[in-house]
Amino acid sequence: MLSRLARPCFQQAVQSSPRNFLNNAKTWMASKGQSTIAAGAGAAVKEGVAVAAKEAGAVASKDSMASTSRVVGWWMAGCAGMCVGAVVLGGVTRLTESGLSMTDWALLGRPPPRTQEEWDEEFEKYKLSPEFKWKNFDITMNEFKFIWYMEYGHRMWGRTIGAVFFLPAGVMWARGMFNSAVKKRVVLAGSLLMFQGLLGWYMVKSGLDHENFLGPSDVPRVSQYRLAAHLSSAVVLYSVLFWNAKSILKPAIEFDPAKITPQLAKFRKWTVSSKALAFFTLVSGAFVAGLDAGLVYNSFPKFADRWIPEDILQQTPVLRNITENPTTVQFNHRILGTTTLAVLSATAFQAQRLPLPQRIKTAALLMGCMGWMQVALGVSTLLLYVPVPVAAAHQSGALATLSLAMWVSHESRHLKLAKKLAK
Protein backbone atom coordinates (compact mmCIF):
# COMPACT_ATOMS: atom_id res chain seq x y z
CA MET A 1 0.00 0.00 0.00
CA LEU A 2 1.31 3.42 -0.98
CA SER A 3 0.92 6.24 1.48
CA ARG A 4 -1.50 9.10 0.79
CA LEU A 5 1.36 11.48 0.01
CA ALA A 6 3.31 9.05 -2.19
CA ARG A 7 0.34 7.86 -4.30
CA PRO A 8 -0.09 11.12 -6.37
CA CYS A 9 3.59 11.24 -7.13
CA PHE A 10 3.56 7.62 -8.24
CA GLN A 11 0.54 8.13 -10.49
CA GLN A 12 2.08 11.27 -12.00
CA ALA A 13 5.28 9.42 -12.77
CA VAL A 14 3.42 6.60 -14.52
CA GLN A 15 1.19 8.92 -16.56
CA SER A 16 3.97 11.28 -17.59
CA SER A 17 6.43 8.65 -18.77
CA PRO A 18 5.25 5.00 -18.82
CA ARG A 19 8.29 3.88 -20.80
CA ASN A 20 10.72 5.44 -18.33
CA PHE A 21 8.85 3.83 -15.48
CA LEU A 22 9.09 0.39 -17.04
CA ASN A 23 12.79 0.88 -17.69
CA ASN A 24 13.35 1.96 -14.10
CA ALA A 25 11.40 -1.04 -12.82
CA LYS A 26 13.47 -3.43 -14.92
CA THR A 27 16.67 -1.83 -13.67
CA TRP A 28 15.49 -2.15 -10.06
CA MET A 29 14.56 -5.83 -10.49
CA ALA A 30 17.84 -6.59 -12.24
CA SER A 31 19.81 -4.92 -9.49
CA LYS A 32 17.99 -7.02 -6.88
CA GLY A 33 18.77 -10.22 -8.77
CA GLN A 34 22.38 -9.27 -9.20
CA SER A 35 22.69 -8.50 -5.50
CA THR A 36 21.43 -12.01 -4.72
CA ILE A 37 23.95 -13.52 -7.11
CA ALA A 38 26.65 -11.24 -5.76
CA ALA A 39 25.90 -12.36 -2.22
CA GLY A 40 26.47 -16.01 -3.19
CA ALA A 41 29.54 -15.12 -5.15
CA GLY A 42 30.81 -13.03 -2.26
CA ALA A 43 30.68 -16.01 0.07
CA ALA A 44 32.62 -18.10 -2.43
CA VAL A 45 35.15 -15.31 -2.87
CA LYS A 46 35.59 -15.01 0.90
CA GLU A 47 36.24 -18.73 1.17
CA GLY A 48 38.70 -18.59 -1.69
CA VAL A 49 40.45 -15.60 -0.16
CA ALA A 50 40.76 -17.45 3.16
CA VAL A 51 42.35 -20.47 1.45
CA ALA A 52 44.59 -18.23 -0.63
CA ALA A 53 45.62 -16.30 2.47
CA LYS A 54 46.55 -19.52 4.22
CA GLU A 55 48.61 -20.71 1.27
CA ALA A 56 50.12 -17.24 0.87
CA GLY A 57 51.14 -17.35 4.51
CA ALA A 58 52.99 -20.60 3.93
CA VAL A 59 54.68 -19.16 0.86
CA ALA A 60 55.55 -15.97 2.75
CA SER A 61 57.11 -18.01 5.55
CA LYS A 62 59.13 -19.93 2.99
CA ASP A 63 60.25 -16.73 1.29
CA SER A 64 61.23 -15.17 4.63
CA MET A 65 63.50 -18.14 5.32
CA ALA A 66 64.99 -18.09 1.84
CA SER A 67 65.70 -14.35 2.08
CA THR A 68 67.54 -14.71 5.41
CA SER A 69 71.27 -14.12 5.39
CA ARG A 70 73.27 -17.22 4.54
CA VAL A 71 75.44 -16.49 7.57
CA VAL A 72 72.45 -17.46 9.71
CA GLY A 73 72.04 -20.65 7.69
CA TRP A 74 75.66 -21.68 8.07
CA TRP A 75 75.52 -20.92 11.80
CA MET A 76 72.48 -23.20 12.18
CA ALA A 77 74.18 -25.86 10.07
CA GLY A 78 77.29 -25.69 12.25
CA CYS A 79 75.22 -26.09 15.42
CA ALA A 80 73.41 -29.04 13.82
CA GLY A 81 76.75 -30.65 13.03
CA MET A 82 77.86 -30.20 16.62
CA CYS A 83 74.64 -31.91 17.74
CA VAL A 84 75.63 -34.87 15.59
CA GLY A 85 78.96 -34.96 17.41
CA ALA A 86 77.17 -34.87 20.76
CA VAL A 87 74.92 -37.79 19.81
CA VAL A 88 77.89 -39.86 18.58
CA LEU A 89 79.96 -39.02 21.66
CA GLY A 90 77.01 -39.80 23.91
CA GLY A 91 76.61 -43.18 22.24
CA VAL A 92 80.25 -44.05 22.81
CA THR A 93 79.96 -42.86 26.42
CA ARG A 94 77.05 -45.25 26.93
CA LEU A 95 78.80 -48.15 25.17
CA THR A 96 81.93 -47.74 27.31
CA GLU A 97 79.72 -47.47 30.44
CA SER A 98 81.27 -44.14 31.34
CA GLY A 99 78.12 -42.13 32.02
CA LEU A 100 78.05 -42.59 35.80
CA SER A 101 81.69 -41.78 36.47
CA MET A 102 80.95 -38.14 37.37
CA THR A 103 78.67 -37.94 40.38
CA ASP A 104 78.09 -34.17 40.45
CA TRP A 105 76.96 -31.49 38.01
CA ALA A 106 77.69 -27.78 37.56
CA LEU A 107 75.91 -25.53 35.09
CA LEU A 108 79.08 -24.05 33.58
CA GLY A 109 81.26 -27.09 34.24
CA ARG A 110 84.65 -27.21 35.94
CA PRO A 111 88.24 -28.03 35.02
CA PRO A 112 89.37 -31.67 35.32
CA PRO A 113 91.49 -32.82 38.26
CA ARG A 114 95.12 -31.74 37.92
CA THR A 115 96.86 -33.34 40.87
CA GLN A 116 96.86 -36.83 42.31
CA GLU A 117 95.03 -35.53 45.37
CA GLU A 118 92.23 -34.17 43.22
CA TRP A 119 91.97 -37.47 41.36
CA ASP A 120 91.82 -39.35 44.66
CA GLU A 121 89.01 -37.07 45.81
CA GLU A 122 87.12 -37.69 42.56
CA PHE A 123 87.65 -41.42 42.89
CA GLU A 124 86.29 -41.39 46.43
CA LYS A 125 83.09 -39.75 45.17
CA TYR A 126 82.72 -42.49 42.58
CA LYS A 127 83.19 -45.18 45.22
CA LEU A 128 79.95 -44.03 46.85
CA SER A 129 77.95 -44.72 43.68
CA PRO A 130 75.86 -47.88 43.05
CA GLU A 131 77.94 -48.67 39.96
CA PHE A 132 81.13 -49.00 41.99
CA LYS A 133 79.41 -50.88 44.80
CA TRP A 134 77.74 -53.53 42.65
CA LYS A 135 79.75 -53.62 39.43
CA ASN A 136 83.09 -51.78 39.25
CA PHE A 137 84.38 -52.51 42.73
CA ASP A 138 87.73 -53.67 41.29
CA ILE A 139 88.30 -50.73 38.93
CA THR A 140 91.79 -49.20 38.87
CA MET A 141 92.65 -45.51 38.90
CA ASN A 142 93.69 -45.56 35.23
CA GLU A 143 90.45 -47.25 34.23
CA PHE A 144 88.51 -44.70 36.26
CA LYS A 145 90.34 -41.84 34.54
CA PHE A 146 89.31 -43.20 31.14
CA ILE A 147 85.59 -43.39 31.90
CA TRP A 148 85.74 -40.06 33.75
CA TYR A 149 87.28 -38.28 30.76
CA MET A 150 84.69 -39.86 28.44
CA GLU A 151 81.83 -38.42 30.48
CA TYR A 152 83.64 -35.12 30.97
CA GLY A 153 84.22 -34.76 27.24
CA HIS A 154 80.56 -35.42 26.51
CA ARG A 155 79.41 -32.81 29.02
CA MET A 156 81.88 -30.15 27.89
CA TRP A 157 80.96 -30.72 24.27
CA GLY A 158 77.35 -30.01 25.17
CA ARG A 159 78.38 -26.78 26.93
CA THR A 160 80.44 -25.82 23.85
CA ILE A 161 77.31 -26.22 21.72
CA GLY A 162 75.53 -23.86 24.10
CA ALA A 163 78.26 -21.23 23.69
CA VAL A 164 78.36 -21.59 19.90
CA PHE A 165 74.56 -21.25 19.76
CA PHE A 166 73.71 -18.54 22.29
CA LEU A 167 76.62 -16.09 21.80
CA PRO A 168 76.21 -15.69 18.00
CA ALA A 169 72.43 -15.76 18.40
CA GLY A 170 72.58 -12.76 20.73
CA VAL A 171 74.84 -10.83 18.34
CA MET A 172 72.75 -11.58 15.24
CA TRP A 173 69.51 -10.82 17.07
CA ALA A 174 70.87 -7.43 18.19
CA ARG A 175 71.98 -6.62 14.64
CA GLY A 176 68.55 -7.39 13.23
CA MET A 177 69.64 -10.40 11.18
CA PHE A 178 66.60 -12.43 12.28
CA ASN A 179 63.13 -11.77 10.88
CA SER A 180 60.04 -12.78 12.86
CA ALA A 181 59.97 -16.31 11.39
CA VAL A 182 63.63 -16.96 12.19
CA LYS A 183 63.27 -15.51 15.70
CA LYS A 184 60.60 -18.09 16.54
CA ARG A 185 62.83 -20.90 15.34
CA VAL A 186 65.85 -19.58 17.25
CA VAL A 187 63.81 -19.37 20.45
CA LEU A 188 62.57 -22.93 19.90
CA ALA A 189 66.09 -24.26 19.32
CA GLY A 190 67.46 -22.37 22.32
CA SER A 191 64.72 -23.74 24.57
CA LEU A 192 65.41 -27.28 23.38
CA LEU A 193 69.13 -26.83 23.99
CA MET A 194 68.65 -25.69 27.59
CA PHE A 195 66.13 -28.45 28.21
CA GLN A 196 68.57 -30.99 26.79
CA GLY A 197 71.27 -30.06 29.31
CA LEU A 198 68.94 -30.34 32.28
CA LEU A 199 67.53 -33.61 30.96
CA GLY A 200 71.05 -35.05 30.73
CA TRP A 201 71.69 -34.54 34.43
CA TYR A 202 68.20 -35.79 35.28
CA MET A 203 69.10 -38.98 33.38
CA VAL A 204 72.43 -39.42 35.19
CA LYS A 205 70.78 -38.96 38.59
CA SER A 206 68.67 -42.07 37.98
CA GLY A 207 71.86 -44.15 37.95
CA LEU A 208 73.25 -42.62 41.14
CA ASP A 209 70.30 -43.36 43.42
CA HIS A 210 70.87 -46.49 45.53
CA GLU A 211 67.11 -46.89 45.97
CA ASN A 212 66.81 -47.84 42.28
CA PHE A 213 69.01 -50.94 42.65
CA LEU A 214 67.74 -52.87 45.63
CA GLY A 215 66.68 -56.01 43.74
CA PRO A 216 68.98 -59.03 43.37
CA SER A 217 69.03 -58.69 39.57
CA ASP A 218 69.19 -54.89 39.34
CA VAL A 219 72.10 -53.55 37.29
CA PRO A 220 73.39 -50.04 38.10
CA ARG A 221 72.63 -47.93 35.02
CA VAL A 222 70.56 -44.93 34.01
CA SER A 223 66.81 -45.25 33.45
CA GLN A 224 66.03 -46.37 29.91
CA TYR A 225 63.09 -43.95 29.88
CA ARG A 226 65.30 -40.98 30.70
CA LEU A 227 67.96 -42.17 28.26
CA ALA A 228 65.35 -42.36 25.47
CA ALA A 229 64.04 -38.91 26.41
CA HIS A 230 67.58 -37.48 26.42
CA LEU A 231 68.37 -38.92 22.99
CA SER A 232 64.97 -37.93 21.56
CA SER A 233 65.44 -34.37 22.74
CA ALA A 234 68.88 -34.19 21.13
CA VAL A 235 67.54 -35.55 17.84
CA VAL A 236 64.61 -33.10 17.84
CA LEU A 237 67.06 -30.23 18.44
CA TYR A 238 69.24 -31.46 15.60
CA SER A 239 66.22 -31.82 13.32
CA VAL A 240 65.06 -28.24 13.98
CA LEU A 241 68.52 -26.87 13.19
CA PHE A 242 69.01 -29.10 10.15
CA TRP A 243 65.60 -28.30 8.65
CA ASN A 244 65.90 -24.53 9.05
CA ALA A 245 69.51 -24.43 7.92
CA LYS A 246 68.51 -26.19 4.72
CA SER A 247 65.54 -23.85 4.24
CA ILE A 248 67.98 -20.93 4.23
CA LEU A 249 70.93 -22.43 2.37
CA LYS A 250 69.13 -24.75 -0.07
CA PRO A 251 65.38 -24.00 -0.24
CA ALA A 252 63.02 -26.77 -1.27
CA ILE A 253 62.21 -27.31 -4.93
CA GLU A 254 59.21 -25.46 -6.41
CA PHE A 255 56.56 -27.45 -8.28
CA ASP A 256 54.09 -26.42 -10.97
CA PRO A 257 50.59 -27.04 -9.50
CA ALA A 258 49.30 -28.04 -12.93
CA LYS A 259 51.77 -30.93 -13.09
CA ILE A 260 51.01 -32.48 -9.70
CA THR A 261 49.64 -35.98 -10.25
CA PRO A 262 48.07 -38.28 -7.65
CA GLN A 263 51.24 -40.36 -7.74
CA LEU A 264 53.38 -37.34 -6.83
CA ALA A 265 51.03 -36.38 -4.03
CA LYS A 266 51.21 -39.93 -2.71
CA PHE A 267 55.01 -39.82 -2.87
CA ARG A 268 54.93 -36.92 -0.42
CA LYS A 269 53.15 -39.18 2.09
CA TRP A 270 55.83 -41.83 1.63
CA THR A 271 58.57 -39.31 2.45
CA VAL A 272 56.82 -38.27 5.66
CA SER A 273 56.38 -41.93 6.63
CA SER A 274 60.09 -42.58 6.00
CA LYS A 275 61.06 -39.70 8.24
CA ALA A 276 58.70 -40.75 11.03
CA LEU A 277 59.76 -44.40 10.98
CA ALA A 278 63.46 -43.49 10.99
CA PHE A 279 62.87 -41.36 14.10
CA PHE A 280 60.85 -43.98 15.99
CA THR A 281 63.37 -46.71 15.17
CA LEU A 282 66.13 -44.48 16.52
CA VAL A 283 64.21 -43.94 19.77
CA SER A 284 63.61 -47.68 19.98
CA GLY A 285 67.37 -48.13 19.79
CA ALA A 286 67.72 -45.95 22.90
CA PHE A 287 65.69 -48.51 24.85
CA VAL A 288 67.91 -51.27 23.46
CA ALA A 289 70.98 -49.41 24.69
CA GLY A 290 69.43 -48.54 28.03
CA LEU A 291 68.58 -52.17 28.83
CA ASP A 292 71.64 -53.73 27.14
CA ALA A 293 69.09 -55.60 25.05
CA GLY A 294 71.65 -56.21 22.33
CA LEU A 295 73.26 -58.85 24.56
CA VAL A 296 70.27 -61.14 25.11
CA TYR A 297 69.91 -62.86 21.70
CA ASN A 298 72.97 -62.67 19.49
CA SER A 299 71.55 -64.49 16.49
CA PHE A 300 69.72 -63.40 13.34
CA PRO A 301 67.11 -63.66 11.90
CA LYS A 302 65.85 -66.05 14.59
CA PHE A 303 66.05 -65.64 18.35
CA ALA A 304 68.23 -68.67 19.05
CA ASP A 305 66.14 -71.34 17.28
CA ARG A 306 62.77 -69.55 17.46
CA TRP A 307 61.15 -66.84 15.37
CA ILE A 308 59.36 -65.48 18.43
CA PRO A 309 61.32 -65.78 21.71
CA GLU A 310 59.57 -67.64 24.47
CA ASP A 311 60.25 -64.97 27.11
CA ILE A 312 58.82 -62.10 25.06
CA LEU A 313 55.89 -61.64 27.50
CA GLN A 314 57.61 -62.80 30.65
CA GLN A 315 56.82 -59.74 32.80
CA THR A 316 53.49 -58.68 34.23
CA PRO A 317 51.53 -56.63 33.50
CA VAL A 318 52.04 -57.35 29.82
CA LEU A 319 52.57 -53.73 28.79
CA ARG A 320 55.71 -53.54 30.92
CA ASN A 321 57.44 -55.88 28.48
CA ILE A 322 57.42 -53.21 25.75
CA THR A 323 59.88 -50.96 27.58
CA GLU A 324 61.32 -53.08 30.41
CA ASN A 325 61.86 -56.59 29.02
CA PRO A 326 65.17 -56.70 27.09
CA THR A 327 63.91 -59.53 24.87
CA THR A 328 60.76 -57.64 23.89
CA VAL A 329 62.69 -54.42 23.35
CA GLN A 330 65.11 -56.17 20.99
CA PHE A 331 62.22 -57.90 19.20
CA ASN A 332 60.39 -54.59 18.68
CA HIS A 333 63.57 -52.91 17.47
CA ARG A 334 64.09 -55.63 14.88
CA ILE A 335 60.50 -55.30 13.63
CA LEU A 336 60.74 -51.51 13.49
CA GLY A 337 64.07 -51.67 11.70
CA THR A 338 62.77 -54.12 9.10
CA THR A 339 59.61 -52.06 8.54
CA THR A 340 61.65 -48.89 8.18
CA LEU A 341 63.95 -50.55 5.66
CA ALA A 342 60.95 -51.65 3.59
CA VAL A 343 59.45 -48.15 3.56
CA LEU A 344 62.79 -46.46 2.78
CA SER A 345 63.40 -48.88 -0.09
CA ALA A 346 59.88 -48.37 -1.48
CA THR A 347 60.26 -44.59 -1.29
CA ALA A 348 63.64 -44.69 -3.03
CA PHE A 349 62.22 -46.96 -5.76
CA GLN A 350 59.23 -44.71 -6.37
CA ALA A 351 61.44 -41.63 -6.59
CA GLN A 352 63.38 -43.17 -9.48
CA ARG A 353 60.28 -43.96 -11.54
CA LEU A 354 58.34 -40.72 -10.96
CA PRO A 355 58.95 -37.45 -12.88
CA LEU A 356 60.83 -35.80 -10.01
CA PRO A 357 63.82 -33.42 -10.06
CA GLN A 358 67.20 -35.08 -9.91
CA ARG A 359 67.87 -33.62 -6.45
CA ILE A 360 65.01 -35.63 -5.00
CA LYS A 361 65.97 -38.78 -6.89
CA THR A 362 69.55 -38.57 -5.60
CA ALA A 363 68.51 -37.90 -2.01
CA ALA A 364 65.98 -40.77 -2.08
CA LEU A 365 68.55 -43.17 -3.53
CA LEU A 366 71.08 -42.26 -0.83
CA MET A 367 68.37 -42.71 1.79
CA GLY A 368 67.55 -46.20 0.54
CA CYS A 369 71.22 -47.21 0.44
CA MET A 370 71.77 -45.86 3.96
CA GLY A 371 68.79 -47.89 5.15
CA TRP A 372 70.39 -51.11 3.93
CA MET A 373 73.77 -50.14 5.39
CA GLN A 374 72.15 -49.37 8.73
CA VAL A 375 70.45 -52.76 8.90
CA ALA A 376 73.73 -54.46 8.02
CA LEU A 377 75.46 -52.58 10.84
CA GLY A 378 72.67 -53.57 13.24
CA VAL A 379 72.91 -57.24 12.38
CA SER A 380 76.71 -57.12 12.63
CA THR A 381 76.49 -55.45 16.05
CA LEU A 382 74.20 -58.25 17.21
CA LEU A 383 76.20 -61.17 15.82
CA LEU A 384 79.55 -59.79 17.04
CA TYR A 385 78.22 -59.31 20.59
CA VAL A 386 78.10 -55.49 20.50
CA PRO A 387 81.70 -54.41 19.89
CA VAL A 388 82.06 -50.68 20.65
CA PRO A 389 83.28 -49.53 17.18
CA VAL A 390 80.54 -51.37 15.27
CA ALA A 391 77.84 -50.44 17.77
CA ALA A 392 78.92 -46.78 17.66
CA ALA A 393 78.78 -46.88 13.85
CA HIS A 394 75.27 -48.35 14.08
CA GLN A 395 74.12 -45.59 16.43
CA SER A 396 75.64 -42.93 14.19
CA GLY A 397 74.05 -44.58 11.16
CA ALA A 398 70.62 -44.11 12.72
CA LEU A 399 71.13 -40.34 12.70
CA ALA A 400 72.51 -40.44 9.16
CA THR A 401 69.43 -42.35 8.01
CA LEU A 402 67.12 -39.83 9.66
CA SER A 403 69.07 -36.95 8.10
CA LEU A 404 68.65 -38.37 4.60
CA ALA A 405 64.95 -38.99 5.25
CA MET A 406 64.58 -35.36 6.33
CA TRP A 407 66.47 -34.26 3.23
CA VAL A 408 64.03 -36.10 0.95
CA SER A 409 61.04 -34.82 2.92
CA HIS A 410 62.32 -31.24 2.80
CA GLU A 411 62.95 -31.33 -0.95
CA SER A 412 59.41 -32.58 -1.62
CA ARG A 413 57.62 -30.43 0.98
CA HIS A 414 56.06 -28.13 -1.65
CA LEU A 415 54.29 -31.02 -3.33
CA LYS A 416 51.56 -30.68 -0.70
CA LEU A 417 51.29 -26.92 -1.22
CA ALA A 418 51.25 -27.24 -5.00
CA LYS A 419 48.47 -29.83 -4.78
CA LYS A 420 46.30 -27.44 -2.75
CA LEU A 421 46.94 -24.57 -5.13
CA ALA A 422 46.02 -26.79 -8.07
CA LYS A 423 42.60 -27.40 -6.52
Burial of 365 (0-12, 13-18, 19+ CB in 10 A): middle
Q: Give residues with Cβ within 8 angstroms of 278, minimum separation 6.
A: 340, 344, 398, 401, 402, 405
Q: How many CB atoms within 10 Å of residue 230? A: 22
* Long-range pairs of 373-382 with CB within 8 A, sequence gap ≥ 24: 373/397, 374/337, 374/341, 374/398, 374/400, 374/401, 375/337, 375/338, 375/341, 378/337, 379/300, 381/294, 382/294, 382/297, 382/298, 382/299, 382/300
Amino acid making up residue 262: P
Closest CA to 255 of 353, 183, 176, 357: 357
Question: What's this model's pTM, rounded to 2 decimal places?
Answer: 0.83
Can you give the pLDDT of all 423 residues of the chain as single tens digits? 444 444 444 444 444 444 454 455 445 444 444 444 444 444 444 444 444 444 444 444 555 676 789 999 999 999 999 999 999 999 999 999 999 999 998 888 899 999 999 999 999 999 999 999 999 999 999 999 999 999 999 999 999 999 999 999 999 999 999 999 999 999 999 999 999 999 999 999 999 998 888 776 678 899 999 999 999 999 999 999 999 999 999 999 888 888 888 899 899 999 999 999 999 999 999 999 999 999 999 999 999 999 999 999 999 999 999 999 999 999 999 999 999 999 999 999 999 999 999 999 999 999 999 999 999 999 999 999 999 999 999 999 999 999 999 999 999 998 876 555 555
* Long-range pairs of 345-348 with CB within 8 A, sequence gap ≥ 24: 345/371, 345/372, 346/270, 347/267, 347/270, 347/271, 347/273, 347/274, 347/408
DSSP line for 301-334:
SSBTTBSS-TTTT-SSSTTHHHHH-HHHHHHHHH
Cα gap 73→67, rounded to integer Å: 11
